Amino acid sequence: MIILGLSGALNHDASAALIIDGEIVAAAEEERFIRDKHAKGHMPMEAARYCLRSAGVSARKVDIVTFPYAPISLTSAARWHYARRYWYAPDRCLDVLLNGNRRYRRNRRRVLEAGVGLGIDWNSTEFVAVEHHLAHASSAYHLSGFEEKTAILGVDGKGEYATTFFGYGENGKIHRIKEFYDPDSLSGVYGAITEYLGFEMLDGEYKVMGMAPYGDAAKFDLSRLIQRHGRGFEVDTTYVNTVGLRRYKEDGVGFYFSDKLVDWLGPRRKGDMADEPYIHYAAAMQRLFEDWCLELLETYLGDIIRETGRLAFAGGGALNVKLNQRIVALDHVKELYVQPAAGDSGTSLGAASYVAVERGEKLSRMNHVYLGPEYSNAECLEIIESCREPIQWRKLDDVPKETAAILAAGNPVAWFQGRMEFGPRALGGRSILGCPNAVGIANRINEQIKFRERWRPFCPSVLDRVAADIIQTDHPAPFMTITFDVNEAWKSRIPEVVHEDGTARVQIVERTQNPRYYALLEELDVLTGNAVVLNTSLNRRGEPMVCSPQDALNMFNGSDLEYLVMEDYLVTKKEDVD
């Protein structure tokens, strides 16, 4: 069976994923192809074309197209909850009760139109809508490889109406226990404070998380933003998660928080500095988010986790690596599986996996994210030779060994190898690398290459054979979705990848998943004594991760990068590349 999953239901993070006979054969975000971060307002046309092309499949052969947005019945508690909580915006109350599936109908129309553009024959191809949070849940549970009963957590901004999902998976079937509905969204509150702290909602939440360790959560109490309500919570929409006339406005732009929040906390932050009091607000928001997620996890899933020890987690909130560290630290959690594409881009894969399992197919654990395009040496050389910038190049005899020597000498290297990663993390396919014991390398990459805030941290890729010594646990960590406390003995050995709070968001590299990257780390171990490399995504601030050789050369020429290793070729701006 050929199942094509598409996403972009909420007008951002459009993507496509292809599952054939139970195997994930391709997946990619639209932003990478059209060079527009988050691909807002776009359907995943280029991503879908790539998936079909890479598998050698004609669009007319697709059996099912699935999309992570479904109709919600008027009898559902979701629509009535939304109407009750948005009483202060009567237009929204009436709309949700009288025309509550308007967005679903629009999305369905967009998918059908996109299908025609792709060459789908709707006379022979079935369209299946999957609820947004079921798609998130499936992307984590059905691809976790967990055979036993598994707790499932979904924390997201919102889907159709649901914002937070608690359930469990057993024998391949997902069971709901509890959902919370808009505007009661923990991720929504985090997003509102993200906007208040001067970042873009749905893009800057990880910046708030990175800023938080510089502050003191005890200095400000943000608890009034989220109030206890029975066994759950309600958001105080006089401060955050606001709509209509309650929204704070600047230069005609409305934000997801109110004037009341600004009156309380002071002016909205501007600029790139991590300064007071904003670092303390970031710390307080991070703590509030963690505490509420953990409390609700215990309330609704505690008994199941104690029974099985397994938890699968997805939704944008699952990318909060500090929360994930606290979850892993719980005594009754044996293993946490976080979907690597946990945000909305992963719902294309989640919708496809949900339908695949429903139709009787058996899926395996998702062990890697190398599901995007790859380019041959000949394709890379063609782009290199056509470059009009003053570059030189040569073919390397031993790519890992010669690249390790450049890194060990204290130079950042753009690393373009194999298939592009699916999801937000660069994991050795489209990366900028540095030697983690080279003093100042992090600042240099931030300021001269990525052009981003100086205080932003970097993460390490580490060999599997040394990982347990560095992070003091044998918990799996292949996707950079969890932070760990770094062993004191390693902090001085790899200082450029240890964050302000002594943690690191680690990628554990296995030879079977990425042999060339593994070999590079082995060579670094020989030269430096550390089987660790600083790894960040190959992109500049505000841009998507690079996809093609042309993208990589544009990035190389538009920054202070001096070395680009593209498949077997070393590209340099220096006169002498020997």
522-531: pLDDT as tens digits: 999 999 999 9
Which residues make beta-bridge pairs with 395?
Answer: 569
- Tell me what the mean pLDDT of segment 210-236 comes to: 97
Query: Mean pLDDT across the chain, nearest whole number?
Result: 97
Confidence of residue 560 (pLDDT cuts 50, 70, 90): very high
Confidence of residue 274 (pLDDT cuts 50, 70, 90): confident
369-384: pLDDT as tens digits: 999 999 999 999 999 9
- Two structure tokens written together for 264: 């309380």
Instruction: Please check whether residue 16 is in contact with residue 44, taking contact to mean a CB–CB distance below 8 angstroms.
Output: yes
Instruction: Please check whether residue 70 is in contact with residue 161, taking contact to mean a CB–CB distance below 8 angstroms.
Output: no
Query: All domains of the chain, ordered by start, with CATH?
Result: 2-78+87-143+340-358 (3.30.420.40), 181-337 (3.30.420.40), 377-572 (3.90.870.20)
Tell me: pLDDT of 575 over 80: no
248-264: pLDDT as tens digits: 999 999 999 999 999 99
Catalytic residue (choose from 12, 142, 368, 475)? 12
- Two structure tokens written together for 380: 């890379």
Tell me: pLDDT of 578 over 80: no
Nearest-angstrom CA–CA distance, 376 and 96: 51
Query: Exposed (0-12), middle (13-18) or buried (19+): which is 306, by Cβ within 10 Å?
Result: middle
Nearest-angstrom CA–CA distance, 354 and 340: 17
- Two structure tokens written together for 193: 């404070």
Give the three-state DSSP class for 395.
strand
149-191: pLDDT as tens digits: 999 999 999 999 999 999 999 999 999 999 999 999 999 999 9
Confidence of residue 577 (pLDDT cuts 50, 70, 90): very low
Tell me: pLDDT of 555 over 80: yes
Tell me: pLDDT of 203 over 60: yes
Maximum C-alpha span of the chain: 71
Instruction: Please check whether residue 516 is in contact with residue 551, taking contact to mean a CB–CB distance below 8 angstroms.
Output: no
Of 435, 328, 169, 196, nearest to 154 by C-alpha is 169
292-334: pLDDT as tens digits: 999 999 999 999 999 999 999 999 999 999 999 999 999 999 9
3-state helix/strand/coil string of 449-492: HCCCCCCCCCEEEEEHHHHHHHHCCCCCCCCCCCEEECCHHHHC
Of 161, 188, 166, nearest to 179 by C-alpha is 166
- Two structure tokens written together for 174: 């997902």
475 is catalytic: no
